[in-house]
Chain A
């Protein structure tokens, strides 16, 4: 039996990036907003101050800032005819936990998607013909365009103080930026970060090969910045502890450093931490949400009634809460019907490590930031002719090495033993003179009929509910894409002067134990047709019109970029629709 709390105008599930954006926008509209967050409150002075944040074992290897699988995990299999088994410890992705969500421990790579990424099926069909796409590929258009989102990308970048060099200013191509990007209305709010040696060398080699390298757009700031909410951030100090870590320096854009200090002072906002939402409640018609039920860490169950529900958890948990709340028709891959769980995707990551003569090259790899680096975009999206290549999709690539943390950055040339005297001397000889780009090739992952989410028949969570089951594998299209991109990337690393290359292609089957990125997408996708999407173009549920679902769960497929910029732009886009349209006349914003 739940204890019932007083009704609010809005309840937000999850206080990460999009929950914080939504809360700030809707409190500005005068609504009374409460957010419910599964994990704890986190902030730099208590959780990751600069006197002990630089702890690779604690944060990277032992996963201190992440969700614990015992609290909630997923089952995983590659193919529909296999038995899914639980992910007992995280591997290929790292679900966030706590206030700030993934915004606490992200690298702050702040990209925009290409204009063609939003109209992907239409664009590829027009250019190459429908028969060029694999038969079981289920890519769709987003239902919004780059032009719709441009003002919201801009808002997010100015909120974060993003450091970068514009490549396309109102249609004018800019020297030093990414010439392939969509037109932006303003330059980045702060100039690009400084680049360490290996990153600079990559840019030089790429330029000499005829590419147009650009500095990676970074939410680790090149200089001090005061954002439009009046919140101040300090310059990044290139400590090399960004991804997996919280920033002890207030230099990385996160909800804590850009929104929460203002939001929390508003009298019409509050939040509960350590409280996990179990389901969204519906009225008798099943068409209207009445609020959410959550349980706190003492096991007490509460009901929070509200007029408007914003589901702002991580991708997977959004989908899971929709399934547990019986909102929308679960996807059936055999019948190819239903929407909740369809078009689940991840990323296609690979890298090439380069080994250089240690008498000539000293990279000081420990000097870096999370979104440092020089990149090229010649092989992203449809920036190149796929006709002769027999695949679609692509990604950016670059020397984007985020540090030299020694447990994970002491690589040795291929063929070296994994232990013993030879291993030890190879570590000594190569640490300072190797290039380890990490997510060097950041490829897209398009959607397929047999890559999806549903509920597991065997394994249960701590409340006795079924775990969600991931069925995911790489298809030939992504494997071909990755081989092509990885070889192109290797040419640039070679041109930097490496004497030995270690090409680490991404291969099938998908492996849940090898980290790629935490960019899981889809499962509750946006679109123009309720038969093939869970949400309309405003992230509003087709089935329950007072429910909006933010996050990368809305992506019909992934692009060759980090998702956060687009995730945040979509949240601002949806918030604008709620403020401008929905509140005046609550109900469906799009009639199917």
Chain B
């Protein structure tokens, strides 16, 4: 069936016609508009792990606490929700590398050519966390990574970062780099994704969050912006107490 605009258009009505089994549309007459359209983000809910096993979850919480240790002013990576953030991300499109080009052949190339692995981040975490615990159990009297002392954890992670310690079957240095990136992203992303709980990271640095209008502040040079941060989902004190 051929859709011709002048065959269908009545007055100034907007025409959006879709072919069968397709998102493709023919648009004419006016800007497409449907009531309540939009794609707001879906906030992460607390609760059990979606992706991690309990051992994996403990290991990632321990990693998050060494990458972002707690201090008197600000909680560490675990209490900021960074492991929850990573868990939910790995259970979703990021973990599967959705949208990436995944056609073979997978050949190793130069650093400048970028990652060429068939594994997405979820598969990488699964393999690497197992390898990390295996290494620790063999090297620290049967202890898993999460059970090491803070000093032992830091020493091991530094050694992995410097490529002095290698883990069997995985590229440990790249994995640790990935974890550092994911933990820090979770710390600074909007709290709706599970990290940056209660906007701790934004409070720590002085970032006022998901605001949309600084017109009155552009030319107030060298003055500290006075308002507290706000998330895309609001702020606790905005929610009426029941």
Does chain B have a CB within 8 A of A504?
Answer: no
Interface residues of A in 421-437 (CB under 8 A from B): 421, 424-425, 427-428, 431-432
Say whether A52 contacts B232, CB under 8 Å: yes
- Listed stretches B46-54, B123-131, B138-146, B219-227; interface member: B219-227
Residue of B69, B99, B100 with highest tally of chain A CB at under 10 A: B99
| Complex: chain B residue closest to A261, CB-CB | B31
Say whether B26 contacts A62, CB under 8 Å: no
CA distance A70 to B96 in the complex (A): 13
Q: Given the known inter-chain contacts A41-B25, A195-B218, please indicate yes or no for A55 contacting B2, CB distance below 8 A.
A: no
Q: Given the known inter-chain contacts A88-B101, A267-B5, A367-B217, please indicate yes or no for A420 contacting B69, CB distance below 8 A.
A: yes
Say whether A274 contacts B27, CB under 8 Å: no
| Complex: chain B residue closest to A300, CB-CB | B19
Mask, B214-242, CB within 8 Å of A = 1, is 11011101111100000010000000000
| Complex: chain A residue closest to B221, CB-CB | A197
Residue of A73, A200, A269, A297 with highest tally of chain B CB at under 10 A: A297
Interface size of A by CB at 8 A reads 94
Q: Provide the residues of chain B in CB contact with A513, threshold 8 Å.
A: 111-114
Q: Provide the residues of chain A in CB contact with B135, threshold 8 Å.
A: none
Say whether A296 contacts B222, CB under 8 Å: no
> How far does the Cβ of A95 sit from chain B's closest Cβ, in whole Å?
12
> How far does the Cβ of B59 sit from chain A's closest Cβ, in whole Å?
16
Residue of A40, A91, A421 with highest tally of chain B CB at under 10 A: A421
Q: Provide the residues of chain B in CB contact with A91, threshold 8 Å.
A: 114
CA distance A340 to B210 in the complex (A): 45
Q: Provide the residues of chain B in CB contact with A432, threshold 8 Å.
A: 205-206, 224
Q: Provide the residues of chain A in CB contact with B33, threshold 8 Å.
A: 45
Say whether B100 contacts A88, CB under 8 Å: yes
Q: Given the known inter-chain contacts A47-B39, A298-B19, A410-B188, please indicate yes or no for A239 contacting B211, CB distance below 8 A.
A: yes
Q: Provide the residues of chain A in CB contact with B114, threshold 8 Å.
A: 76, 85, 87-89, 91, 512-513
> How far does the Cβ of B24 sit from chain A's closest Cβ, in whole Å?
3
Say whether A194 contacts B101, CB under 8 Å: no
Does chain B have a CB within 8 A of A527?
Answer: no
CA distance A239 to B232 in the complex (A): 14
Say whether A69 contacts B29, CB under 8 Å: no
Q: Provide the residues of chain A in CB contact with B9, threshold 8 Å.
A: 267
Q: Given the known inter-chain contacts A407-B189, A458-B105, please indicate yes or no for A249 contacting B212, CB distance below 8 A.
A: yes
Say whether B207 contacts A406, CB under 8 Å: yes
Query: Which single member of A248, A260, A424 contacts B31 (CB below 8 Å)?
Result: A260
Say whether A364 contacts B217, CB under 8 Å: yes
> How far does the Cβ of A259 sit from chain B's closest Cβ, in whole Å?
12
CA distance A122 to B38 in the complex (A): 52
Query: Which single member of A82, A239, A460 contacts B214 (CB below 8 Å)?
Result: A239
Query: Which single member of A76, A275, A421 contacts B113 (CB below 8 Å)?
Result: A76
CA distance A260 to B27 in the complex (A): 11
Does chain B have a CB within 8 A of A562?
Answer: no
CA distance A567 to B27 in the complex (A): 26
CA distance A14 to B33 in the complex (A): 21
Say whether A418 contacts B180, CB under 8 Å: yes
Say whether B67 contacts A419, CB under 8 Å: yes
Does chain B have a CB within 8 A of A505?
Answer: no
Q: Given the known inter-chain contacts A88-B115, A407-B189, please indicate yes or no for A272 contacting B23, CB distance below 8 A.
A: no
CA distance A510 to B215 in the complex (A): 39
Query: Which single member of B101, B110, B154, B161 contacts A509 (CB below 8 Å)?
Result: B110
Residue of B29, B33, B193 with highest tally of chain A CB at under 10 A: B29
Does chain A have a CB within 8 A of B22?
Answer: yes
Does chain B have a CB within 8 A of A459?
Answer: yes
Say whether B102 contacts A238, CB under 8 Å: no
Does chain A have a CB within 8 A of B169?
Answer: no
Query: Which single member of A5, A58, A89, A460 contacts B97 (CB below 8 Å)?
Result: A89
Query: Which single member of B15, B20, B67, B210 contacts A55 (CB below 8 Å)?
Result: B210
Query: Which single member of B2, B23, B113 contacts A297 (CB below 8 Å)?
Result: B23
Q: Provide the residues of chain A in CB contact with B98, threshold 8 Å.
A: 70
Q: Provide the residues of chain A in CB contact with B214, threshold 8 Å.
A: 237-240, 364, 366-367
Q: Provide the residues of chain A in CB contact with B99, threshold 8 Å.
A: 63, 68-70
CA distance A63 to B107 in the complex (A): 25
Q: Provide the residues of chain A in CB contact with B94, threshold 8 Å.
A: 62
Say whether B27 contacts A273, CB under 8 Å: yes
> How far does the Cβ of A225 sit from chain B's closest Cβ, in whole Å?
16
Does chain A have a CB within 8 A of B116?
Answer: yes
Say whether A297 contacts B193, CB under 8 Å: no
Does chain B have a CB within 8 A of A129?
Answer: no
Does chain A have a CB within 8 A of B137?
Answer: no
CA distance A110 to B58 in the complex (A): 50
Q: Given the known inter-chain contacts A55-B232, A88-B115, please indicate yes or no for A70 contacting B100, CB distance below 8 A.
A: yes
Q: Provide the residues of chain A in CB contact with B183, threshold 8 Å.
A: 419
Does chain A have a CB within 8 A of B10?
Answer: no
Mask, A360-375, CB within 8 Å of B = 1, is 0111101100000000
> How far does the Cβ of B226 sit from chain A's closest Cβ, in whole Å?
11
> How far does the Cβ of B213 sit from chain A's closest Cβ, in whole Å?
4
Say whether B215 contacts A238, CB under 8 Å: yes
Query: Which single member of B22, B68, B74 contacts A300 (CB below 8 Å)?
Result: B22
Interface residues of B in 146-192 (CB under 8 A from A): 154, 157, 161, 180, 183-185, 188-190
Q: Provide the residues of chain B in CB contact with A87, threshold 8 Å.
A: 101, 113-114
Does chain B have a CB within 8 A of A49?
Answer: yes
Q: Given the known inter-chain contacts A88-B116, A239-B212, please indicate yes or no for A40 contacting B185, CB distance below 8 A.
A: no
Say whether A410 contacts B205, CB under 8 Å: yes
Does chain B have a CB within 8 A of A43?
Answer: yes
Interface residues of A in 191-205 (CB under 8 A from B): 194-197, 200
Say whether A45 contacts B38, CB under 8 Å: yes
CA distance A84 to B4 in the complex (A): 44
Q: Provide the residues of chain A in CB contact with B232, threshold 8 Å.
A: 51-52, 54-55
Does chain B have a CB within 8 A of A584?
Answer: no
Q: Provide the residues of chain B in CB contact with A63, threshold 8 Å.
A: 99
Query: Which single member of A45, A53, A431 contacts B205 (CB below 8 Å)?
Result: A431
Interface residues of A in 45-98 (CB under 8 A from B): 45-47, 49-58, 61-63, 68-70, 73, 76-78, 82-83, 85-89, 91
Q: Provide the residues of chain A in CB contact with B25, threshold 8 Å.
A: 41, 272-274
Q: Provide the residues of chain A in CB contact with B38, threshold 8 Å.
A: 45-47, 49
Say whether A270 contacts B5, CB under 8 Å: yes
CA distance A89 to B157 in the complex (A): 27
Does chain B have a CB within 8 A of A415?
Answer: no
Say whether A407 contacts B185, CB under 8 Å: yes
Say whether A69 contacts B100, CB under 8 Å: yes
> How far does the Cβ of B185 sit from chain A's closest Cβ, in whole Å?
5
CA distance A260 to B14 in the complex (A): 13
Does chain B have a CB within 8 A of A271?
Answer: yes
CA distance A86 to B33 in the complex (A): 38
Residue of B26, B202, B205, B218 with highest tally of chain A CB at under 10 A: B218
Does chain B have a CB within 8 A of A588?
Answer: no
User: Closest 3 interchain pairs by CB?
Assistant: A298-B22, A296-B24, A270-B28
Inter-chain pairs besides A364-B217, A428-B204, 10 sampled, C-beta below 8 Å: A41-B27, A70-B101, A73-B101, A196-B218, A265-B12, A297-B24, A367-B217, A406-B205, A424-B71, A511-B111
